[in-house]
Structure 1
Amino acid sequence: FANTSVMSLPSSEIKNPKARLAFYFKEIEKEFDVLIEENNELKKRLAYLEGSSAQVTMRKPKNEKENKTSGSRPESKKIQVVDSRPGPLQKSDMWVSTVELTGHRDGVWEVSACPWSLKRLGSASADRTARIWSLTPGSTVQPHITYLGHNGSVNSIRFHRYERLVCTASGDKTCHLWKIPPSLKKENASQHQESFLTSKTTKLWSPLLKEDSVDTDIGKEVNDGQSKKEDIIGKAMNESSHNIPVVEVTTQQVNNYEESNEIQITANMLSLKGHAGPVISADWLADGTAITSVSTDNSIWFWDTENGSCTHSFLNVHEEGHSFTNINTDFNNMAITSSTDGIIRVWDKRTPKGVLTSILAHESAANSAIFTASDNNTIISGGDDRACRTWDLRNCKQPVHTIRCSSGINRFSISPLSSTIALPMDDRRTKLCDVLGNRLGNLRSHDKGGHIAPITSTAWSNDESVVYTSSFSRTSSIVAWTKEVKLEKRKKMTQE
């Protein structure tokens, strides 16, 4: 560009810096006007294809005559326009921080909503603990159960879809399976057995609702009748002390504690050992009869939950200097991993090589990838390149949609009913949008509420009324967000 411009200048002005600079600016302005014309033409075609009757505002270039002879690109008869710009933000979709869950002594890597309980949330923290929070309307939200079995940072926490089981992955190179003991406030047995698909007609805890506005038809939770002792610590730990007294009590004694007291567990049901490095993440497979885990040792392992043995392992997956960042499953047989080299991989342990598909999804680290709830052929990925992309496994050459964000994306989540994506970002924002990129809400941290550090993960409640976000800050490690309800509507809700 510079050489052609210099050749077009008169010989008397080549050595004049001001003349050269003015000439360059004119050339840039011409190119910019050409781009404006092309952009206006694309807007017209897009409005025509979408059947929109709205008027499109066109910007006219300054030098219209020059643009006609500047050699703009010829029009093609067929053109495919892919618009990834976010749609307008509706006034009704404003989300506010309503509850801050404090108690962790270090940052939280991941939050996970319980699929079989309407009032439980799990969190994994760098303080070597995993916590189960009891979300009871009309009372202070506090940790109900704290798991202390790991000797390193707890990097992920995942609930079993049907049973009262939890899988945690840790920096101590192990995965632990442990059981949630029955609590004083029981839950409906059918509610325990059914999946989140039934929650569409069930009211869920919301910080905006009072206690009398929530269903009171809550029966007893399924009790498996175990009489064996569990290594459980009694009351909540003192926040100012690191010395935690350990008391051995039975499950029957646990039921006598009030809901406001914290149960602390040190014993696990099964410990999965074999990784040579910290375990980054682990998730359930095959309806809970298997577990898959990924580690910084560049390996992915598949485990049998009956005896804790490794059924399949694939080593040295990445090139030197790269490792896994996260793993998610469809809860059947397939798992999807993301890694620092920007590649997402789909795995199936039933195949000889394990890998079904490898996609170079991001220009930098891919931090998370998830199967959509409606279709296992569609996956969504997010990474440090500030992009969230939708992929079709049947044709992975190009993304179906690309959503641009303001900062790097961490471990995101998809709502179970409407497939709304909650994208946690490094700039302390959480973007809510659909798979097409249409913006449905924005969770922005500020002085009055929210996070003061990058957001590490998100989780949806079963009925999509609450979005949980986690951060690497001690003061506001977990925040619950709900849609802002006007005063008149809130009064009507409490009266019903």
Structure 2
Amino acid sequence: MSFRSLKKKSTYDGPKLEDIEDSNVSPRLQKQLAFYFAGIEAEFAQVCQENEQLKSKLRQLERQISLKNHVDSKEHSTKESFPDVDGPWQNLPRNASQFSKKVMIKYKEQTNKIVSTFRPPHVSVNIKHIGRFSGHKDGIWDVSYCKGLKGRPIIGTASNDRTARVWQAEGQQCCLLKYLGHSGSVNSIRFHPTLPLVLTGSGDRSAQIWCCDVPESDIVYSETQPHNSDEDFSDPEEAERDQNVASVVVRTPQKTLTGHNNAVTAAEWLSGGTQCVTASWDRTARIWDSEAGTAIHSLTGHDQEITDTSVHSSQALIVTCSKDTTFRVWDFRTSIHSVNVYQGHTASVTCAVFTTHHDSIVSGSDDCTVKVWDLRNMRTAISTIQCDASVNKLAISDESHHTIAIPFDNRHVRLYDLQGTYLTRLPRRSQPGHQRMVCSATWASDDNAANLFTCGFDNRTIAWKITVDHDSHR
């Protein structure tokens, strides 16, 4: 956005240019700060002006529609012609109720796009950078959390460097295990709900199940401490040289699931862990018997490549997302399964996640929107979040007031609630934030030192502590 409206008056309450003139900041930094503050003032003024213009248009159209409805009602009750009245409402369609709905939806979406970036006054969000995990040689596609074995929380990462890694999530954040069984990019990683098993999907057209049980005696902890938010590296490669090296390497899977004709983009355990589902660019998804390693069902119907799949935590529900701009919910709760097609996005659907305690699903798309849907009504979304970049694999917290963490192509991560209200964004500085596209996010328990993990194509995974307080200002 240009800063041509610098001289416009605004109600901006942030830092002013004069606040830094008498400070001890160097002249060069003062000049930079003055430029940024001026830009903030200009953007805020323009947002306020656009918001007022939209509100004015909305009020004017509401008055016109109200008058038109009044006239039509009187005509119907008297069955007599009503005298002509001058006014812009004369050109409205006779079915003013349908027209009013369209107008309200259109201008409400535009207004929400502007005001959605203002957090409600009664919500407080605290963000703390805990540390980061470095070691992959290429971008990281996916991150997954597990409560861990023997009381040790762990996370898993899937990378374009053809490896998957298991990390200790708390204490000394070292790499516990490195998996080398795939011959292509590892696109997804998920932990078994009860057993020390990991399910990974890969560009080599297979999904693999392998063991992640690492005996404590085999772990060699590095003396290197994880990076914290106060560190700043002048050399971008210094963090890579400071990495933790895995002490255990696994090369052979317990089961290999083959049958797809193209890359496997995602793989998930079904509730209970006796079955799993895989999604592929061959436009199909498959349900597998994870113990036998055989396919049980083939889910077909998408017109283009399937980009992601997700499962409900307690019910036999599967969702598949596709580049054909739709996502489908497959219901296996009865002997004869059904499928519902959700249409509403205008570009590739990149992810869709079930909420735990609500009958709803949240979808993200390359059309720069996130939509919340009611599973009982698939016609329209409950709420729509307008974004400024393509959406990648989002995550919904079971705790933290069901906060949605949305990672973007533009290296940002923003937090919203299920009503589509903007809460905050994670820091986007080079330290401690991501430097390139953020691909995935996952939540952990609020009791942990870190309860949100994000990964991206800067080859790193970052741990955060997010605290959402909805009553602090009431």
Give the drift of 1:175. Answer: 1.0
Matches within 5 A, 1:47-196: 70-71=88-89, 84=112, 85-86=115-116, 87-88=118-119, 92-116=124-148, 119-137=153-171, 139=172, 141-184=173-216
The answer on whether the counterparts of 1:425 and 1:455 sit within 8 Å (CA) in structure 2 is yes
- Hey, what's the Cα distance between the residues in 2 that align with 1:301 and 1:36? 49
- Separation (CA, whole Å) in 1 of partners of 2:279 and 2:203: 11
Change (3 A) 1:274 1:400: same
- How far does residue 98 in structure 1 lie from its aligned partner after superposition? 3.4
CA distance in 2, matches of 1:472, 1:366: 20
Report what 1:306 is aligned to: 291
CA contact (8 A) 2:156 2:167 kept: yes
- In structure 2, relative to structure 1, the CA distance for the partners of 1:356 and 1:99 (3 Å cut) is same
Deviation, 1:160, is 1.4
User: Mapping of 1:376-387 within 5 angstroms?
Assistant: 377-387=359-369
Count of matched residue positions in the alignment of Structure 1 and Structure 2:
357
Q: SS in structure 1 opposite 2:426?
A: strand
Deviation for aligned residue 1:288: 0.5
Q: Report the CA distance between 1:451 and its aligned residue.
A: 1.4
1:133-165 Cα distance to aligned partner (Å, 9 max, x none):
11232x3x2211111111111100011122222
**Are positions 1:318 and 2:302 aligned together?**
yes
1:39 aligns with 2:58: yes
Q: 1:357-372 maps to which residues of 2 (within 5 A)?
A: 357-372=340-355
RMSD over aligned Cα, in angstroms? Answer: 3.5
2:403 equivalent to 1:420: yes
SS at match of 2:56: helix
- Could you tell me how far 1:353 is from its partner in structure 2? 7.9
Report the residue type matching 1:343 in the other structure: T
1:348 is displaced (CA, Å) by 3.3
Please report how far the alpha carbon of residue 424 of structure 1 lies from its aligned counterpart in structure 2 after TM superposition. 0.3
Q: How far apart in 2 are the matches of 1:41 and 1:415?
A: 41
- Partner of 1:101, secondary structure, is strand
- Contact map agreement 2:265 2:281 (CA 8 A) in 1: yes
Q: CA deviation at 1:39?
A: 3.0
Q: Secondary structure at the match of 2:272?
A: helix
Q: Is the 8 A contact 2:178 2:246 kept in 1?
A: no
Distance in structure 1 (CA, Å) of the matches to 2:364 and 2:52: 34
What is residue 467 of structure 1 aligned with on the other side?
Answer: 452
Distance 1:206 1:453 in 2: 18
Quick one: distance in 1 between partners of 2:370 and 2:327? 13
TM alignment of 1:422-441, pairs within 5 A: 422-441=405-424
Q: CA–CA distance in 2 between the matches of 1:330 and 1:101? A: 29
- Distance 1:444-1:353 versus aligned 2 partners, 3 A rule: farther
The letter for the 1-side match of 2:302 is H
| Long gaps (5+) in structure 1 | 1-31, 45-67, 187-204, 209-238, 241-258, 486-496
Alignment of 1:450 with 2:469, yes or no, is no
User: Map of 1:267-346 to 2, 5 A cutoff?
Assistant: 267-315=252-300, 317-319=301-303, 322-331=304-313, 332-346=315-329
Aligned residue in 1 for 2:371: 389
The structure-2 alpha-carbon separation of the partners of 1:290 and 1:92, relative to structure 1 and needing over 3 Å to count, comes to same
In the alignment, is the contact (CA less than 8 A) between 1:95 and 1:442 conserved in 2?
no
Contact 2:186 2:201 in 1 (8 A): yes
Q: Is the 8 A contact 1:390 1:402 kept in 2?
A: yes
8 Å Cα contact 1:154/1:170 also seen in 2: yes
CA spacing shift, 1:440–1:183, aligned 2, 3 Å: farther
Q: How does the TM-score come out when normalised to structure 2?
A: 0.67
CA deviation map 1:97-142 (0-9, x unaligned): 33121100110000111145662111100111111111232x3x22
The letter for the 2-side match of 1:473 is D
SS in structure 2 at match of 1:297 = coil
The answer to whether the 8 A contact 1:102-1:142 is kept is no
Assess, with a 3 A threshold, how the Cα gap between structure 1 residues 280 and 33 changes in structure 2: closer, same or farther.
closer
Report how far residue 403 of structure 1 moved: 0.9
The TM-score normalised by the length of structure 1 is 0.65
Distance 2:381 2:467 in 1: 34
Superimposed CA distance per residue, residues 15-68 of structure 1 (whole angstroms, 9 cap, x where no aligned partner): xxxxxxxxxxxxxxxxx9996534357999xxxxxxxxxxxxxxxxxxxxxxx9
Determine helix, strand or coil for the equivalent of 2:402. Answer: coil
